[in-house]
């Protein structure tokens, strides 16, 4: 049986390494650095080391070199200083004190070299140069010198290439405005097309009423209507309190405490009630629609529905739109009632206007026409919120990040469309004298 391969102790790590692994030795005067062993990827990664053997351990647990190693190892320089060096990191050097201005890198003991070893030797020469000393190569074989020159050239070319890359420049203002306008136009055309497809799907359902999914519609009424009552009631009550307080402070100066009823009821029933309800539903339900459909887009559930012949518009969009159209007018009535109660409470506390007087004044301040002009906006608001939320959900493409981005966009766009529609209603009511 052949004798086992001899091992030597690496002074830098205290680990067993083959005697032909990468090694660096300083001469006593610090003018020569001897490179020896195999400078390859495997040896630099430590994969060339052999596991320690119990028979090579001294009684004190320290590794010792076998007799074969002592016989085969070439004698080093007189009293050399071993460099403490870790190939996986930068090249530290325990250089002895020296006055030399030039360091000779002696490669006569270099047995093997690849690009990984050449890169480490290049870093070694750079580290020496940073200390203000020149580096001379001596004793290297011609293939090793060629490989070192090749690594040096490639690193220099890479550095020049990175330096030649211009920094990213911001487009001009006109270009950004143009791109933004074009993107907005494309989204508007896409939304208009989606509205048309939804309308056609609704007409097909009207032609075949049995395809209408009433269970899902009632589920939307429960989730987006009934369960939204607590938060909507609290916000509406507080809005009524704020309106009564802000107007009452001024009206009390002129003795017009009673006219707080007119201001609260007209403002809430005609404008703030429907508008505030639509904004709350847009943030609560519109975002949920976009997130649900967006998640189904990511998991390819929408494509699965199409593959089995189920229309996503009839299954997902129409029930949400019709359910919200039924729920939002009822939520608006509830919000109006809560806001009027809030105004009545604040009037009783601050203006000494008793609830009986407040209630008797309401029929004189508002009419049924005032209530209906506000409620007429609710179905339109509901359709806009549902369509915008579902449309943004169908635009999701690239995973969770896209779901979050389009969910946020759905809320913003729904609120913007609600305000635009409310302004359009105001113009129409003004033209009609309502």
pLDDT class of 65 with cuts at 50, 70, 90: very low
Q: Return the closest-CA partner of residue 145 out of 99, 107, 189.
A: 107
Q: What is the dihedral of CA 355, 356, 359, 361, to 10 degrees?
A: -110
β-pairing, 102-113 vs 81-82, is: unpaired
**Nearby residues of 61 by Cβ (< 8 Å), 6 or more positions away:** none
> Rounded mean pLDDT of the chain?
81
Task: Look at residue 63 and tell me whether its pLDDT is greater than 60.
Answer: no
Task: Look at residue 68 and tell me whether its pLDDT is greater than 70.
Answer: no
Query: Which of 243-257, 382-396, 407-421 is predicted least confidently?
Result: 243-257
Dihedral (CA of 96, 102, 108, 110) sign: positive
Locate tokens 């269970």: which residue?
A: 215
The pLDDT score that the predictor gives to residue 86 is 47
CA–CA separation, 196 and 200 (whole Å): 6
- Per the CB < 8 A criterion, the answer to whether 33 and 106 are in contact is yes
Q: What percent of the chain has pLDDT over 70?
A: 81
CA–CA separation, 245 and 346 (whole Å): 6
Mean pLDDT of 292-310: 91
CA–CA separation, 59 and 57 (whole Å): 7
DSSP lists the bridge partners of residue 113 as 39
Can you read off the two tokens belonging to residue 10? Answer: 């690496």
Mean pLDDT of 81-108: 60
- Per the CB < 8 A criterion, the answer to whether 347 and 245 are in contact is no
pLDDT in tens, 160-215: 776 656 667 778 888 889 998 999 899 889 999 999 999 999 999 999 888 888 99
pLDDT class of 158 with cuts at 50, 70, 90: confident
pLDDT class of 64 with cuts at 50, 70, 90: very low
Range with top average pLDDT, 45-49, 382-386, 399-403? 382-386
151 versus 7: the higher-pLDDT residue is 151
Please give the angle made by the CA atoms of 117, 122 and 127, to the nearest 5 degrees: 125
Mean pLDDT of 383-397: 93
Can you read off the two tokens belonging to residue 429? Answer: 């009511």
**Nearby residues of 294 by Cβ (< 8 Å), 6 or more positions away:** 392, 393, 394, 395, 396, 402, 403, 406, 407
Q: Return the closest-CA partner of residue 238 out of 89, 152, 341.
A: 341
pLDDT in tens, 262-283: 899 999 999 999 999 999 999 9
166 versus 36: the higher-pLDDT residue is 36
401 versus 11: the higher-pLDDT residue is 401
Find the helix or strand (DSSP H, E) in which 234 lies: helix 229-251
Q: What is the pTM of this model?
A: 0.62
The pLDDT score that the predictor gives to residue 109 is 85
Task: Look at residue 419 and tell me whether its pLDDT is greater than 90.
Answer: yes
Describe the chain by its helix, strand, coil percentages, rounded to 5.
65, 10, 25
338 versus 32: the higher-pLDDT residue is 338
Can you read off the two tokens belonging to residue 55? Answer: 């028979």
Task: Look at residue 99 and tell me whether its pLDDT is greater than 70.
Answer: no
pLDDT class of 94 with cuts at 50, 70, 90: low
β-pairing, 7-9 vs 16-18, is: antiparallel
CA–CA separation, 100 and 97 (whole Å): 9
β-pairing, 102-113 vs 32-39, is: parallel
Task: Look at residue 90 and tell me whether its pLDDT is greater than 60.
Answer: no
12 versus 33: the higher-pLDDT residue is 33
pLDDT class of 97 with cuts at 50, 70, 90: low
DSSP lists the bridge partners of residue 25 as 34, 82
CA–CA separation, 111 and 27 (whole Å): 20
pLDDT in tens, 312-328: 999 999 999 999 999 99
Q: What percent of the chain has pLDDT over 90?
A: 41
């Amino acid at each position: 049986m052949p004798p086992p391969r001899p091992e030597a102790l690496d002074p830098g790590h205290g680990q067993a390494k083959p005697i032909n692994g990468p090694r660096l030795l300083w001469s006593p005067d610090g003018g020569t650095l001897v490179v020896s062993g195999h400078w390859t990827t495997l040896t630099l990664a430590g994969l060339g080391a052999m596991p320690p053997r119990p028979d090579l351990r001294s009684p004190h647990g320290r590794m010792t070199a076998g007799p074969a190693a002592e016989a085969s190892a070439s004698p080093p320089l007189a009293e050399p200083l071993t460099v403490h060096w870790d190939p996986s990191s930068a090249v530290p050097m325990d250089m002895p004190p020296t006055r030399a201005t030039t360091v000779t890198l002696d490669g006569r003991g270099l047995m093997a070299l690849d690009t990984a070893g050449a890169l480490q030797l290049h870093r070694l020469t750079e580290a020496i140069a940073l200390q203000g000393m020149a580096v001379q190569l001596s004793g290297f074989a011609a293939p090793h010198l060629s490989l070192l020159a090749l690594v040096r050239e490639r690193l220099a070319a890479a550095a020049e290439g990175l330096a030649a890359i211009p920094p990213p420049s911001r487009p001009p203002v006109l270009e950004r405005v143009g791109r933004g306008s074009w993107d907005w136009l494309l989204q508007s055309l896409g939304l208009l097309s989606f509205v048309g497809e939804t309308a056609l799907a609704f007409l097909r359902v009207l032609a075949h009423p049995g395809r209408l999914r009433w269970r899902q519609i009632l589920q939307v009424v429960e989730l987006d209507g009934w369960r939204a009552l607590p938060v909507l009631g609290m916000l509406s009550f507080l809005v009524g309190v704020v309106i009564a307080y802000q107007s009452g402070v001024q009206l009390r100066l002129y003795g017009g405490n009673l006219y707080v009823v007119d201001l609260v009821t007209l403002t809430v029933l005609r404008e703030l009630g429907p508008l505030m309800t639509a904004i709350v539903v847009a943030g609560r339900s519109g975002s949920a629609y976009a997130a649900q459909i967006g998640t189904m887009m990511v998991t390819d559930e929408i494509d699965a529905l199409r593959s089995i012949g189920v229309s996503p518009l009839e299954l997902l969009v129409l029930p949400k739109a019709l359910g919200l159209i039924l729920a939002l007018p009822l939520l608006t009535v509830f919000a109006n009632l809560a806001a009027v109660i809030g105004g009545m409470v604040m009037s009783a506390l601050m203006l000494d206007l008793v609830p009986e007087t407040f209630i008797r004044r309401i029929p004189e301040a508002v009419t049924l026409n005032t209530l209906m002009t506000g409620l007429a906006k609710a179905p339109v608001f509901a359709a806009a919120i549902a369509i915008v939320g579902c449309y943004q959900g169908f635009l999701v493409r690239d995973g969770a990040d896209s779901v979050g981005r389009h969910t946020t966009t759905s809320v913003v766009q729904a609120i913007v469309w609600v305000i635009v529609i409310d302004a359009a209603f105001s113009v129409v009511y003004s033209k009609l004298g309502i």
